[in-house]
Amino acid sequence: MDLLQNPFHILQATPRDDKHRIMELADEQGLLYDPDACLKARSEITNLRKRLSAEIAWLPGLSPTKVKEALLLLESNPDGLREMDNLNGIVRLNLLVAGLSRLQNLKPAKIAEWILEISRLFDQLIVTELYSTINEDRIVSGFSKVTDYSWVESEVNNQRQYCKGIIISALENLPQKERLAAIIFVVVSSTDAGKEQGPIIVDIVDAYELESQEALEKSESEIKEKIEQVKTCAASGGSDKILSKMIGELLGLVQEWDDIAQPIQISKKSLGLDHGASQRLAYTVRGLALHLFNEQGKLDAAQQITTVLQKLFSEVPDVAELIATDANTLQGHEKAKDREKLYADLKPISEAPSLSAIYGIGFRLYGSSDPDRENGSFMSTYYFTFFFFPIIPLCRYRVILNQTTYHFLGKAALRDIDKWHRGIAVALIAIFVIYSFIGKKSGSGSADPSYSPNDQAPISSQQENTNISPSQPNSSGAEPVVPSENILSRNSLKTEIENEKKQAKEIEGEVLGMNDQLNSYKLQLDTHQAAGEYDEYNALVPLYNSLVAEKKSAIERYNNLIDEVNQKVHQYNSRRY
């Protein structure tokens, strides 16, 4: 019952007016307004049973001054009713319901706020307190007290139906898309995502379910038709791209169906029930996923469907649990399929390749990709190195790194990027050799045997032996020349060169050990990152960065030492006997 249509408002009476005063008010108001309406109002509030309906739909317990203030606000600014304070539950509930029926041009979010507050007030309504308030007014007015408690409960239920009607009417004033958004917001908020239940909300959803039944049935029919088309495409050998597109269209239809059904699903969940239509549709679409995987071997297509079903039907407990099991099973098959791919192109080897190097010139493994989480193996590229720099990629190996030791599982071909790397490196080396040959052919005559300085590496023992051969008698048989200070100085330089070569060799060993440790760190970092173990990942980063800095420092010391050796080689070669 609307407040402004309530018999107490028509007669300008209060619940504490006695029967004689009500008769007087009916006569007075009958002279000013519709006498039949006033006569009917007098009859209703003097009849003990009908009076109870008017009392519960009125503002019981509120003073006449406050009643006048509230009704004035209802007619002039209904949105301001929510700001009134010191009101009991039934009074505030009846005012907000009357206010909602008079609001104009509200956004969905605003209407949702009003609906939620009305629902909360009704949930918090205590019938025993209302029973006492009504009887207090009746004692003052001289009317008989309400003796049957069930009468109050019955009238409260009638008011609940009135509230539902006002809310549904307010929602119907919204465009369809906005109305659905408002209902979903109200249902999710009022039921705490399906964990609690509000009677007003249940009434709203029941009405919504009845209204949307035709749309859901039509949408379900379209979905079933699309499922048959997908099956036909898969059976006829259609491409995965076309099949994926068709499944996307199907899942779009399922999404539209779920948008309509979602408020119903959440409300049913709050009651501990499943939505039958949602169950039926979910099982139908799930059946397609099973068919595609079991009959057609379409793992990706089955996962595409299952992933969306998990998201859309999370509010339907039985369905959500079953689909979660399907998703785990498919994920297991996906991991097995991915692992097969890791080893598909791998060829067995009879022995491990050489990883030795002298002064950084030799063979090393660099990089890690395509990790196998089960055994910790990964693919690494086998390079020919020149002073620790990977120059020419030769092939790839799947290996397991155990601290500084590699266990080789098999050999694979180079990737396209590795082939480009190899081609460019070989071309550059060829150009260097050609230019060196041309330069040598155009140079002057040869000098005495001497050390050859090198900007990148220390001298070799063979070069050194060539330069320090003892003096021989000349062909005329003269006495050999006595060694001069120049010869002694060359011997001293030789000793220094030998010592610095030894130091360079030690630094080279340090760098090799650092390379192995960095590869180990890199594998651990990749593993932690892939597993989402961010604490372990972040703890290892400083160690990795510190070792990188230490390696750079060692290489710098190595290069400086090589420069010193080359300078002394120049000095050695410039001195003559």
pLDDT tens profile 313-331: 888 888 888 888 888 888 8
Residue located via tokens 């209407």 = 111
Residue 379 is classified by DSSP as E
107 and 153: one domain? Answer: yes
511 and 549: one domain? Answer: yes
Q: Which tens digit of pLDDT belongs to each residue from 417-464?
A: 989 988 998 888 888 888 888 866 655 444 444 444 444 444 333 333
**How far apart (Å, rounded) are the C-alpha atoms in residues 414 and 393?**
8
165 and 266: one domain? Answer: no
The rounded percent of the chain whose pLDDT value lies above 90 is 33
Which of helix, strand or coil describes residue 577? coil
Instruction: Identify the helix (H) or strand (E) that includes residue 100.
Output: helix 89-100
Q: What is the pLDDT of residue 576?
A: 54
**Number of residues in the chain:** 577
In a domain, 350, yes or no: no
8 Å CB contact between 63 and 33 = no
Choice between 510 and 530, residue whose per-residue pLDDT is larger: 510
The secondary structure of 210-274 as a DSSP string is HHHHHHHHHHHHHHHHHHHHHHHHHHTT--HHHHHHHHHHHHHHHHHHHHHHHHHHHHHHHTT--
How far lies 206's CA from each of 119, 174, 456, in Å?
15, 18, 84
In a domain, 351, yes or no: no
**How far apart (Å, rounded) are the C-alpha atoms in residues 362 and 355?**
7
Tokens of 518: 């960095």
In the predicted structure, residue 23 carries a pLDDT above the cut 70: yes
307 and 269: one domain? Answer: yes
For residue 523, what is the domain's CATH number? 1.10.287
323 and 361: one domain? Answer: no
Residue located via tokens 């959500």 = 320
219 and 339: one domain? Answer: yes
363 and 320: one domain? Answer: no
Q: What is the mean pLDDT of residues 349-372?
A: 87
In a domain, 185, yes or no: no
Q: What is the mean pLDDT of residues 64-74?
A: 92
pLDDT, mean over the chain: 84
Where in the sequence is the domain holding 427, given as residue range(s)? 357-441
413 and 511: one domain? Answer: no
In the predicted structure, residue 474 carries a pLDDT above the cut 50: no
Give the end of a domain, one of 323, 344, 365: 344
**How far apart (Å, rounded) are the C-alpha atoms in residues 34 and 26?**
10
In the predicted structure, residue 225 carries a pLDDT above the cut 90: yes
276 and 402: one domain? Answer: no
**How far apart (Å, rounded) are the C-alpha atoms in residues 290 and 330?**
10
305 and 332: one domain? Answer: yes
336 and 362: one domain? Answer: no
The number of domains in the chain is 4
In a domain, 398, yes or no: yes
163 and 279: one domain? Answer: no
Give the end of a domain, one of 127, 156, 174: 174
Q: What is the pLDDT of residue 463?
A: 35
Q: Of the spans 300-309, 352-361, 401-410, which averages the highest pLDDT?
A: 300-309
Give the end of a domain, one of 303, 323, 344: 344
Q: What is the pLDDT of residue 181?
A: 87
